[in-house]
Chains A and B, each alone.
Chain A
Amino acid sequence: GQQLNQNPQSMFIQEGEDVSMNCTSSSIFNTWLWYKQDPGEGPVLLIALYKAGELTSNGRLTAQFGITRKDSFLNISASIPSDVGIYFCAGANTGNQFYFGTGTSLTVIP
């Protein structure tokens, strides 16, 4: 199946710092999604990207669809304690099957 690698696997940052994470694929995707998962809960959709080069923001979150269509990036500005969680990327080609990354675990130290 498709392999999606997320980097870094985990991050420990101070409150107020900016965060950057990325997701790379061995294949081209037409859609990229970013999700956040809190412990014991289902993933919550943060941002959806549909076009190569697209840059989309959702509050303090900004995500980009890589030009090569094999990668995507998520940035969080001015982190706060409630940003703690696991962030997953997901990519899809035609059709509706999404492939999920391995996740980036974020810890924000107050």
Chain B
Amino acid sequence: NAGVMQNPRHLVRRRGQEARLRCSPMKGHSHVYWYRQLPEEGLKFMVYLQKENIIDESGMPKERFSAEFPKEGPSILRIQQVVRGDSAAYFCASSPGWVSYNEQFFGPGTRLTVL
């Protein structure tokens, strides 16, 4: 039973380019979460999605960042016109979504470096 998968594991972009990060949740999980982690810091919540719905995007920057979780395929975190400050590790987690069982399982992360 595969865990949460993220790709790419490492992504290098120049300032102004777009970054697309993909996350495939664990089998049977319908809820996806994206977090950002800066070096030596904890995880900061960005967005929580269910299939075709954004449930909570209170942690997402208002500009340049967007996320989707389509009916088919992985969840995508998209960063437009990247800047150096976007360099970080981006982690995706998934959960079954049942209120009484909402443990989140993390993927290995995508490390974004903006040159």
Contact = CB atoms under 8 A, between A and B. Distances in A.
B91 A43 contact: yes
Q: A interface, how many residues as a size bin?
A: 20 to 34
Interface string B18-35: 000000000000010101
B85 interface: no
Interface in B80-113: 91, 95, 97, 99-100, 102-109, 111
Interface residues of B, number: 28
B69 interface: no
A96 B106 contact: no
A43 B33 contact: no
A97 B48 CA distance: 7
B65 interface: no
A29 interface: no
Interface in A58-110: 88, 90, 92, 94-103
Nearest to B3: A42
A45 B105 contact: yes
29 contacts: A33-B104, A35-B106, A40-B111, A41-B109, A42-B4, A42-B106, A42-B108, A42-B109, A43-B91, A43-B106, A45-B104, A45-B105, A45-B106, A48-B103, A50-B100, A88-B43, A92-B102, A94-B99, A95-B56, A95-B99, A96-B33, A96-B55, A96-B97, A97-B48, A97-B56, A98-B33, A98-B45, A101-B42, A103-B42
Interface of A: 31, 33, 35, 40-45, 48, 50, 88, 90, 92, 94-103
